[in-house]
Amino acid sequence: MKVHIIGGGIIGLCSAYYLRKEGFEVEVIDQVRKGSASDGNAGMIVPSHFIPLAAPGVIAQGVRWMFKAKSPFYIKPRLSLELASWLWQFYRACDQKKVENAMPVLRDYHLLSKELYKELSTQPGFEFAFEEKGLMMLFKTPKVGHEEAETAEIAHSLGMEARVLDATGVSKVETGTRTDVLGGVYYPGDAHLYPNQLVIQLETWLRDNGVAFHCNSGVKGLLASNGKISGILTQNGETIACDHVVIAAGVWSAGLLGPLGVNCLLQDGKGYSYTLPALNQRPAVPTILTEARVAVTPMGQDLRIGGTLEISHLSNKISRPRFEAIAEALPAYYPDIQPEMPALQNVWHGFRPCSPDGLPYLGRSKKYSNLVVATGHAMMGLSLGPATGKVVSELIRQQQPSIDVRLFEVERF
Nearest CA to 75 out of 325, 354, 312 is that of 312
**CA pair distance 285, 299, nearest whole angstrom:** 10
Closest among 387, 298, 408 to 111, alpha carbons compared: 387
Strands (E), 76-227: 135-139, 163-166, 183-187, 191-192, 212-214, 219-225
Amino acid at 206: L
Residues in 194-223 that interact with ligand FAD by CB under 6 A:
218-219
Q: Which is nearer to ligand FAD, 41 or 179 (CB)?
A: 41
**Residue from 18, 19, 20, 31 binding ligand FAD (CB under 6 A):** 31
User: Mapping DSSP to helix (H, G, I), strand (E, B) and coil, where does residue 373 land?
Assistant: strand
117: how many CB neighbours lie within 10 A of its CB?
Answer: 24
Q: At what angle do helices 381-396 and 96-120 cross, to 10 degrees?
A: 80
Largest Cα–Cα separation, the chain: 65
Choose which of 7, 183, 283, 386 interacts with ligand FAD (CB under 6 A): 7
Binding ligand FAD by CB under 6 A: which of 145, 189, 363, 381?
381
Q: Which range of residues in 25-33, 92-100, 180-188, 337-345 is near ligand FAD by CB under 6 A?
A: 25-33
Strand partners, 228: 225
Minimum CB distance to ligand FAD, residue 30 (Å): 4
Q: How far is the CB of 218 from ligand FAD (least distance, A)?
A: 3
Provide the 8-state DSSP code for 356.
T
| Closest approach of ligand FAD to the CB of residue 35, in Å | 7
Q: Which stretch binds ligand FAD (CB under 6 A): 9-17, 59-67, 117-125, 277-285?
A: 9-17
Name the segment binding ligand FAD (CB under 6 A); options: 67-75, 90-98, 245-253, 390-398. Answer: 245-253
Q: Which is nearer to ligand FAD, 43 or 358 (CB)?
A: 43
Applying CB under 6 A, among 18, 43, 139, 202 the residue interacting with ligand FAD is 43
**Cβ contact 173:285 at 8 Å:** yes
Task: Kindly tell me which of 79 and 376 has the beta carbon lying closer to ligand FAD.
Answer: 376
Question: Is 134 an interacting residue with respect to ligand FAD (CB under 6 A)?
Answer: no
* Nearest residue to 412 (alpha-carbon basis) of 109, 105, 93: 93
Q: Are 95 and 358 in contact (CB under 8 A)?
A: no
Among positions 134, 271, 386, 401, the unique one binding ligand FAD when judged by CB under 6 A: 271
Determine if 9 is a binding residue for ligand FAD (CB under 6 A): yes
- Of residues 41 and 365, the one with the C-beta less far from ligand FAD: 41
Measure the CA–CA gap between 69 and 412, rounded to whole angstroms: 34
3-state SS, residue 157: helix
Q: Which residues bind ligand FAD (CB under 6 A)?
A: 6-12, 29-33, 36-38, 41-44, 218-219, 248-250, 252, 256, 271-273, 295, 306, 350, 352-353, 375, 377-383
